[in-house]
Structure 1
Amino acid sequence: MSTSLNQMINDLRSTAQVAGGKPTAKNEADSGVDFADALKNAIDQVSAAQTEARQMSEGFVSGASEANLHDVMIASQKASLSFQQMVQVRNRLVTAYQDIMNMPV
Protein backbone atom coordinates (compact mmCIF):
# COMPACT_ATOMS: atom_id res chain seq x y z
CA MET A 1 0.00 0.00 0.00
CA SER A 2 2.83 2.39 0.85
CA THR A 3 4.45 1.86 -2.54
CA SER A 4 1.23 2.60 -4.42
CA LEU A 5 0.64 5.69 -2.29
CA ASN A 6 4.15 6.95 -3.03
CA GLN A 7 3.63 6.25 -6.74
CA MET A 8 0.33 8.13 -6.65
CA ILE A 9 1.94 11.10 -4.89
CA ASN A 10 4.73 11.16 -7.50
CA ASP A 11 2.14 10.99 -10.30
CA LEU A 12 0.18 13.85 -8.75
CA ARG A 13 3.31 15.95 -8.33
CA SER A 14 4.31 15.46 -11.95
CA THR A 15 0.74 16.24 -13.03
CA ALA A 16 0.79 19.40 -10.93
CA GLN A 17 4.12 20.41 -12.47
CA VAL A 18 2.75 19.91 -15.97
CA ALA A 19 -0.38 21.89 -15.07
CA GLY A 20 1.77 24.67 -13.62
CA GLY A 21 3.90 24.82 -16.77
CA LYS A 22 7.04 23.62 -14.99
CA PRO A 23 9.31 21.15 -16.75
CA THR A 24 9.29 17.64 -15.32
CA ALA A 25 12.33 15.54 -14.59
CA LYS A 26 11.77 13.55 -17.77
CA ASN A 27 9.99 14.49 -20.95
CA GLU A 28 6.49 13.00 -21.16
CA ALA A 29 6.87 12.31 -24.90
CA ASP A 30 10.10 10.39 -24.29
CA SER A 31 8.60 8.18 -21.61
CA GLY A 32 5.50 7.33 -23.63
CA VAL A 33 3.17 8.23 -20.76
CA ASP A 34 -0.09 9.82 -21.84
CA PHE A 35 -1.31 12.67 -19.64
CA ALA A 36 -4.89 11.37 -19.67
CA ASP A 37 -3.72 7.90 -18.64
CA ALA A 38 -1.59 9.29 -15.82
CA LEU A 39 -4.50 11.39 -14.58
CA LYS A 40 -6.92 8.46 -14.76
CA ASN A 41 -4.41 6.26 -12.92
CA ALA A 42 -4.08 8.86 -10.16
CA ILE A 43 -7.86 9.17 -9.84
CA ASP A 44 -8.22 5.40 -9.69
CA GLN A 45 -5.62 5.22 -6.92
CA VAL A 46 -7.45 7.89 -4.91
CA SER A 47 -10.68 5.96 -5.35
CA ALA A 48 -9.00 2.73 -4.26
CA ALA A 49 -7.59 4.40 -1.15
CA GLN A 50 -11.04 5.73 -0.25
CA THR A 51 -12.64 2.34 -0.82
CA GLU A 52 -10.03 0.60 1.32
CA ALA A 53 -10.50 3.14 4.13
CA ARG A 54 -14.28 2.75 3.98
CA GLN A 55 -14.05 -1.05 4.05
CA MET A 56 -11.62 -1.00 6.97
CA SER A 57 -13.87 1.41 8.85
CA GLU A 58 -16.97 -0.68 8.23
CA GLY A 59 -15.12 -3.83 9.24
CA PHE A 60 -13.87 -2.23 12.43
CA VAL A 61 -17.31 -0.91 13.40
CA SER A 62 -18.99 -4.25 12.74
CA GLY A 63 -16.23 -6.16 14.54
CA ALA A 64 -15.74 -8.45 11.55
CA SER A 65 -12.25 -7.21 10.77
CA GLU A 66 -9.07 -7.82 12.73
CA ALA A 67 -7.98 -4.23 11.96
CA ASN A 68 -7.42 -2.04 14.98
CA LEU A 69 -8.39 1.60 15.35
CA HIS A 70 -4.84 2.70 14.56
CA ASP A 71 -4.90 1.00 11.13
CA VAL A 72 -8.37 2.36 10.36
CA MET A 73 -7.35 5.93 11.20
CA ILE A 74 -4.16 5.71 9.13
CA ALA A 75 -6.07 4.39 6.11
CA SER A 76 -8.66 7.15 6.56
CA GLN A 77 -5.99 9.86 6.72
CA LYS A 78 -4.20 8.47 3.65
CA ALA A 79 -7.47 8.55 1.72
CA SER A 80 -8.21 12.07 2.92
CA LEU A 81 -4.75 13.39 2.01
CA SER A 82 -4.80 11.77 -1.42
CA PHE A 83 -8.24 13.26 -2.11
CA GLN A 84 -7.12 16.72 -0.98
CA GLN A 85 -4.08 16.51 -3.22
CA MET A 86 -6.25 15.44 -6.17
CA VAL A 87 -8.52 18.43 -5.56
CA GLN A 88 -5.47 20.73 -5.63
CA VAL A 89 -4.36 19.21 -8.93
CA ARG A 90 -7.86 19.73 -10.32
CA ASN A 91 -7.79 23.35 -9.18
CA ARG A 92 -4.45 23.86 -10.96
CA LEU A 93 -5.81 22.27 -14.12
CA VAL A 94 -8.89 24.48 -14.06
CA THR A 95 -6.73 27.57 -13.51
CA ALA A 96 -4.45 26.58 -16.39
CA TYR A 97 -7.46 26.01 -18.64
CA GLN A 98 -8.93 29.40 -17.71
CA ASP A 99 -5.58 31.08 -18.37
CA ILE A 100 -5.38 29.49 -21.81
CA MET A 101 -8.98 30.43 -22.63
CA ASN A 102 -8.35 34.05 -21.61
CA MET A 103 -5.29 34.42 -23.83
CA PRO A 104 -5.75 36.88 -26.67
CA VAL A 105 -5.57 35.31 -30.09
Structure 2
Amino acid sequence: MNSIDSSRLLAEMQRMAQAADSGSSIKNVDIAGKPASGDFSDLFSQALGTVNELQMQAGELSDRLVKGDPGVTLAQSVLAGQKASIAFEATLQVRNRLVQAYQDIMNMPL
Protein backbone atom coordinates (compact mmCIF):
# COMPACT_ATOMS: atom_id res chain seq x y z
CA MET A 1 0.00 0.00 0.00
CA ASN A 2 1.27 3.48 -0.80
CA SER A 3 2.18 5.71 2.11
CA ILE A 4 1.03 9.32 2.23
CA ASP A 5 3.78 11.78 1.40
CA SER A 6 2.95 14.89 3.45
CA SER A 7 5.44 17.13 1.64
CA ARG A 8 3.91 16.22 -1.73
CA LEU A 9 0.40 16.88 -0.41
CA LEU A 10 1.49 20.22 1.05
CA ALA A 11 3.09 21.25 -2.25
CA GLU A 12 -0.09 20.31 -4.13
CA MET A 13 -2.24 22.30 -1.70
CA GLN A 14 0.04 25.32 -2.07
CA ARG A 15 -0.11 25.07 -5.86
CA MET A 16 -3.90 24.97 -5.73
CA ALA A 17 -4.00 27.95 -3.36
CA GLN A 18 -1.73 29.95 -5.67
CA ALA A 19 -3.91 29.06 -8.65
CA ALA A 20 -7.00 30.21 -6.74
CA ASP A 21 -5.34 33.47 -5.67
CA SER A 22 -4.06 34.29 -9.14
CA GLY A 23 -7.49 33.78 -10.67
CA SER A 24 -6.27 31.15 -13.09
CA SER A 25 -8.57 28.23 -13.60
CA ILE A 26 -7.68 24.72 -12.62
CA LYS A 27 -8.09 22.40 -15.59
CA ASN A 28 -10.79 19.76 -15.47
CA VAL A 29 -9.65 16.18 -15.82
CA ASP A 30 -11.62 13.06 -16.61
CA ILE A 31 -11.61 9.74 -14.77
CA ALA A 32 -8.35 8.64 -16.39
CA GLY A 33 -6.60 11.91 -15.45
CA LYS A 34 -6.57 13.26 -19.00
CA PRO A 35 -7.46 16.92 -19.61
CA ALA A 36 -11.19 17.19 -20.20
CA SER A 37 -12.62 19.08 -23.16
CA GLY A 38 -15.35 21.66 -22.65
CA ASP A 39 -18.19 20.02 -24.61
CA PHE A 40 -20.55 18.00 -22.40
CA SER A 41 -21.42 15.50 -25.11
CA ASP A 42 -17.70 14.77 -25.59
CA LEU A 43 -17.25 14.34 -21.84
CA PHE A 44 -20.22 12.00 -21.61
CA SER A 45 -18.99 9.98 -24.60
CA GLN A 46 -15.55 9.68 -23.00
CA ALA A 47 -17.15 8.56 -19.73
CA LEU A 48 -19.20 5.92 -21.58
CA GLY A 49 -16.03 4.74 -23.32
CA THR A 50 -14.24 4.45 -19.99
CA VAL A 51 -17.14 2.50 -18.47
CA ASN A 52 -17.15 0.19 -21.49
CA GLU A 53 -13.39 -0.41 -21.15
CA LEU A 54 -13.79 -1.22 -17.44
CA GLN A 55 -16.58 -3.69 -18.19
CA MET A 56 -14.56 -5.33 -20.97
CA GLN A 57 -11.55 -5.68 -18.66
CA ALA A 58 -13.72 -7.17 -15.91
CA GLY A 59 -15.23 -9.66 -18.35
CA GLU A 60 -11.81 -10.62 -19.66
CA LEU A 61 -10.41 -11.16 -16.16
CA SER A 62 -13.47 -13.20 -15.21
CA ASP A 63 -13.10 -15.39 -18.30
CA ARG A 64 -9.40 -15.90 -17.64
CA LEU A 65 -10.12 -16.84 -14.02
CA VAL A 66 -12.77 -19.37 -15.05
CA LYS A 67 -10.36 -20.90 -17.60
CA GLY A 68 -7.78 -21.38 -14.85
CA ASP A 69 -5.21 -18.76 -15.87
CA PRO A 70 -2.60 -18.75 -13.07
CA GLY A 71 -1.85 -15.06 -13.71
CA VAL A 72 -5.31 -13.96 -12.54
CA THR A 73 -6.41 -14.08 -8.93
CA LEU A 74 -9.94 -14.07 -7.58
CA ALA A 75 -9.24 -10.71 -5.92
CA GLN A 76 -8.23 -9.13 -9.25
CA SER A 77 -11.35 -10.44 -10.94
CA VAL A 78 -13.70 -9.29 -8.17
CA LEU A 79 -12.02 -5.88 -7.92
CA ALA A 80 -12.30 -5.30 -11.67
CA GLY A 81 -15.96 -6.30 -11.55
CA GLN A 82 -16.67 -3.91 -8.70
CA LYS A 83 -14.88 -1.03 -10.46
CA ALA A 84 -16.96 -1.66 -13.57
CA SER A 85 -20.15 -1.87 -11.50
CA ILE A 86 -19.47 1.39 -9.67
CA ALA A 87 -18.58 3.20 -12.90
CA PHE A 88 -21.77 1.93 -14.54
CA GLU A 89 -23.94 2.97 -11.59
CA ALA A 90 -22.38 6.46 -11.57
CA THR A 91 -23.01 6.83 -15.31
CA LEU A 92 -26.58 5.61 -14.86
CA GLN A 93 -27.19 8.21 -12.14
CA VAL A 94 -25.86 10.98 -14.41
CA ARG A 95 -28.22 9.81 -17.16
CA ASN A 96 -31.16 9.71 -14.75
CA ARG A 97 -30.46 13.25 -13.59
CA LEU A 98 -30.17 14.47 -17.17
CA VAL A 99 -33.51 12.89 -18.05
CA GLN A 100 -35.10 14.41 -14.95
CA ALA A 101 -33.69 17.86 -15.78
CA TYR A 102 -34.98 17.57 -19.34
CA GLN A 103 -38.44 16.57 -18.09
CA ASP A 104 -38.46 19.47 -15.62
CA ILE A 105 -37.60 21.92 -18.38
CA MET A 106 -40.20 20.48 -20.74
CA ASN A 107 -42.90 20.71 -18.04
CA MET A 108 -42.22 24.39 -17.34
CA PRO A 109 -45.07 26.65 -18.37
CA LEU A 110 -44.32 29.14 -21.11
Q: Aligned pair 1:68/2:91, yes or no? A: no
1:77-88 correspondence runs (5 A)? 77-88=82-93
Higher relative contact order (CA 8 A, sep 6+): 1
For structure 2, the residue ranges without an aligned partner over 5 or more in a row are 1-28
8 Å Cα contact 2:54-2:80 kept in structure 1: yes
User: Alpha-carbon deviation of 1:68?
Assistant: 0.3
Q: Max radius of gyration: which structure?
A: 2
Kindly provide the amino acid, as one letter, of the partner of residue 31 in structure 2. Answer: M
More helix by share: 1
Q: Find the aligned partners of 2:70 and 2:51 in 1 and give their Cα distance.
A: 22
Identity of aligned residues (%): 41
Is the counterpart of residue 43 in structure 1 residue 48 in structure 2?
yes
Q: 2:97 aligns with which of 86, 92, 96?
A: 92
List alignment gaps of at least 5 residues for structure 1.
1-5, 11-30
Give the CA RMSD over aligned residues.
2.2
**TM-score, normalising length from structure 1?**
0.69
- Aligned pairs, how many? 80
1: CA distance, partners of 2:30 / 2:57 = 17
Poorly superposed stretches of 4+, deviation over 3 Å = none
Q: TM-score, normalised by structure 2?
A: 0.66
Distance 1:54 1:75 in 2: 8
Distance 1:44 1:35, change over 3 A: same
Asked whether the equivalents of residues 56 and 65 of structure 1 are also in contact (C-alpha less than 8 Å), the reply is no
